[in-house]
Amino acid sequence: MADWNQSISLETGKSVPINLGDFEANLSKELGQWKLTEPEQQHRFVSEATELFLRPRLADRPLVFRANEPVVLGPGNSFTTYVRSAVWLTVWLEDICYLETPTIRPSDTWFGPPTSDGELCYAARTGLRLGLEEPNAPKNFAVTPLEVVNEAHESLTIAQLKIPAPELSTYIDDDSNLWTTSIVLKAKSEEFAEISAKSGAPRKDVELVSRPRATSASGLVRSFMSTVGLARNQ
């Protein structure tokens, strides 16, 4: 069975099933071409390449995670959460990407005010939870370690978070679980927060499989209201 970031070699006329969590397909080799068959569509790649790689990539828009319950964060306190997001599958032949397709079709959502300050994002299918639960996540989901620190002088109630998925790298561990760059969000006040990527890999047992789609010119610095949906505590 095919897996992430492994060399796949097939003889002409042979096929192999692909079962990556919620994503199922069939990969076959024909004369002068490869074929990837999903339940509702089919892709053909004309190439004489003898091996093929399937690699994960994060979404091409920011992801919005909504809390199952609003999280109240007191002044000077912090919490760590691990959010999961469905990845895109990319098909590589001879170091060329022939296909990029989401393993789960995401829903569009608008984050922020209904003006130019808002942004079109994807709605994540998993909620915002504290702690890493169910470590054996589906293979088509990547885990993002996120630390939130309240450096403001009053409590904040966090209802949702926006993660800059296009600006994060993707890693794979020894058990083929997917991880992303760790990020830290520091709330400086009600109006401003700083979100930054931690340097290096999120764990010791991982290797890089996909680099970020984009690099922020501002070093991942965002205004608080454009990063976190919150309600002020009275």
Report DSSP letters for 132-183, one per residue. ---SS--TTEEEEEEEEEE-SSS-EEEEEEEE-GGG--EEEETTS-EEE--E
Phi, psi of 216 (to 5 degrees): -70, 130
- What six digits make up the tokens of 132? 């890493």
Q: Is the pLDDT of residue 226 over 50?
A: no
pLDDT of residue 196: 84
Q: What span, in angstroms and rounded, lies between the C-alpha atoms of 156 and 50?
A: 55
Percent pLDDT > 70 in the chain is: 85
Which of these ranges, 22-26, 33-37, 112-116, 166-170, has the smallest mean pLDDT? 112-116
Residue bearing tokens 């897996």: 3
Which of these ranges, 95-99, 135-139, 147-151, 159-163, has the smallest mean pLDDT? 135-139
Percent pLDDT > 90 in the chain is: 50
How many CB atoms sit inside 10 A of residue 73's CB?
21
Question: Which residues, listed in sequence order, are joined to residue 45 by a DSSP beta bridge?
Answer: 34
Cα first-last separation, the chain: 55
- CA 87 from centre of chain: 5
Contact 109, 179 (CB under 8 A): no
What's the pLDDT tens digit per position in 44-76?
A: 999 999 999 999 999 999 998 887 777 888 999
Q: What span, in angstroms and rounded, lies between the C-alpha atoms of 30 and 59?
A: 31
Q: Is the pLDDT of residue 11 over 70?
A: yes
pLDDT of residue 67: 79
